[in-house]
Amino acid sequence: MILPFHSLIAPEAVEMIRDTAAEAETASQLHPAQLELAYRNKWFNLFVPKDRGGLELSFPEALQLEEALAWTDGSFGWTITLCSGANYFIGFLEPEVSDPLFKDPEVCFSGSGAATGTAELKADGYHISGRWKYATGAPHATIFTCVCNLKENGVIIKDGNGNPATAAFWFHANEVRQLHDWQMMGMKATASLSFEAGPVVVPVTRRFVIDPAYATLPQEVYRYPFLQFAEATLCVNFSGMAIRFLEIYMKHVSERDAVAAKLEQEILQARDLFYEKINSSWKQLRMQARVEEGTLTEISNRSRELYAVCTKLMHNLYPLTGMHAADSHSEANRIWRNFFTASQHKLLREI
C-alpha cells in the first residue's frame, strides 16, 4: 500500500514516536519526546492562523496530517487531533481574549462537549459548577473547555424545543481539578482524564459559540460546520490506525491473501471517496463562503463509510494475525486496543 504518509512526517519522527509508544502507555500520557516534537512542529495548532503561531492548514491538509499521525501511533494521532480540534476554537474567541492565551508556544486546549455542568449569569459573571469526562491531553493542557446547562434563578433554562439551553466556556488549567480516572484498555497515552470545576465565577468573556455565524477570525476553516469537521477529523484517525494494522498483518503472513487484498481495496476506495468529497467541500467553502447542505450530508456519509470499512478490516484481520496480535506488548495489539477504545466515542457510535 503506497500512501503519502512519509512525505508528511519525517522517518526519524515516525521511528521515535513508535519507539516511545510503549513508555507513553506505561506513563498514561504522551512521552516527553513526543510532546516536544508536537510543540516543535506546531501540531496542536494545525488550524491556528500563522500570525497567532499556528500552521493555518487547509482542512484537507490537516486531515491528511492527522491520518498520518494516527498511522504512526493511535494515541499520539488522537491526542493531536482532539487538542488541535480544541485549539481551533481560537476562531470563535474575541482576539483580546485569545491573543494572551496563544502567546504561549505550548498552548493546548482540552475539554469535553458533554453538558455536564451548570452556569448561571449573575452580576459578577457566570457561576459555574460541574464535572466533565474525557479531556484528551489533560496533563499538558493549558486551557479546558466545557459545556454547561444554563440556569436562571436556580432553574435550568429551556430552549425553543424544550431542551436544556447550553453554552460553551473555558477555564485556565489552574482553575480545574484533574481526576486521574482514565483506566481504558487502549488510548492510554491520550490521558483523557475527567476534570471538575466550581463553584467558580468567570467573566462573561469566557463564553463562546462554535458556529460559523460567530467566527471572529476570517480564515475559511472557521466557517466549516463543526459537526462535519468533527466527524471527518475523527474518522481519519481510524483510517490511519487501520492502514497501519494492515501493514503489520502483511508482514506476518507468508504470502498475500485474498482477504487482505479485498480489505485493502475497500479501504483505499472508501478513503479516496472521502477525500474527494472533503476537497469538494473545501472548494465550495472558498468559492461560495459556505458548504452546501447536500455536500455536508455527503461528508457525513463518507465519514460513516470510511469508519465502517476500517472497523470491518480490524474485525476480519485480527483473528488472522495470530498470537502476535494478542501480545499486549506488540504494536498490533496496541493498535487493536486503541482502535476499539476510540470507537466508543459517542460521535462515532452515532455514525
Per-residue pLDDT of 155-171, as tens digits, reads: 999 998 999 999 999 99
Q: What is the CATH number of the domain that holds 260?
A: 1.20.140.10
Question: Is there a single domain that holds both residue 202 and residue 246?
Answer: no
Of 79, 47, 349, nearest to 188 (Cα)?
Answer: 79
Q: Across residues 53-80, what is the average pLDDT?
A: 98
**Amino acid letter for position 288:** Q
Question: Is there a single domain that holds both residue 64 and residue 149?
Answer: no
* Boundary (domain end) residue, out of 214, 242, 271: 214
Contacts of 32 (CB under 8 A, 6+ apart): none
Question: Is there a single domain that holds both residue 230 and residue 346?
Answer: yes
Question: Is there a single domain that holds both residue 127 and residue 58?
Answer: no
Per-residue pLDDT band at 65 (split at 50, 70, 90) = very high
Question: Is there a single domain that holds both residue 152 and residue 83?
Answer: no
* Boundary (domain end) residue, out of 162, 194, 214: 214
Asked if 296 contacts 228 with a C-beta cutoff of 8 angstroms, the reply is: yes
Structural domain contains residue 3: no
Per-residue pLDDT band at 349 (split at 50, 70, 90) = low
Give the whole-number percent of the chain exceeding pLDDT 70: 97
- Rounded distance, CA 237 to CA 307, Å? 9
Structural domain contains residue 46: yes
- Rounded distance, CA 137 to CA 37, Å? 15
Q: Across residues 33-45, what is the average pLDDT?
A: 98
Number of structural domains found in the chain: 3
Q: What is the pLDDT of residue 90?
A: 98
Question: Is there a single domain that holds both residue 136 and residue 161?
Answer: yes
Question: Is there a single domain that holds both residue 233 and residue 162?
Answer: no
Q: What's the mean per-residue pLDDT of the chain?
A: 95
Structural domain contains residue 171: yes
Q: What is the pLDDT of residue 227?
A: 95
* Boundary (domain end) residue, out of 214, 236, 260: 214
Does the pLDDT at position 48 exceed 50?
Answer: yes
Asked if 242 contacts 274 with a C-beta cutoff of 8 angstroms, the reply is: no
Per-residue pLDDT band at 347 (split at 50, 70, 90) = confident
Place of cell 461560495: 288
Does the pLDDT at position 1 exceed 70?
Answer: no
- Rounded distance, CA 176 to CA 128, Å? 11
| Verdict on whether the full-model pTM lies above 0.75 | yes
Structural domain contains residue 101: no
Does the pLDDT at position 321 exceed 50?
Answer: yes
**Which residues constitute the domain of residue 138?**
106-214
Q: What is the CATH number of the domain that holds 87?
A: 1.10.540.10
Q: What is the pLDDT of residue 351?
A: 46
Q: What is the CATH number of the domain that holds 161?
A: 2.40.110.10
| HSE-up (13 A, CA, CB side) for residue 173 | 15
Does the pLDDT at position 350 exceed 60?
Answer: no
Structural domain contains residue 130: yes
Structural domain contains residue 178: yes
Question: Is there a single domain that holds both residue 240 and residue 328?
Answer: yes
Question: Is there a single domain that holds both residue 251 and residue 326?
Answer: yes
Instruction: Identify how many contiguous H helices and E strands the chain contains and give both numbers.
Output: 12, 8
pLDDT tens, position by position, 4-27: 788 999 999 999 999 999 999 999
pLDDT tens, position by position, 94-121: 999 999 999 999 999 999 999 999 999 9
Structural domain contains residue 99: no
Does the pLDDT at position 255 exceed 80?
Answer: no
Structural domain contains residue 5: no
Of 313, 314, 315, 308, nearest to 348 (Cα)?
Answer: 308
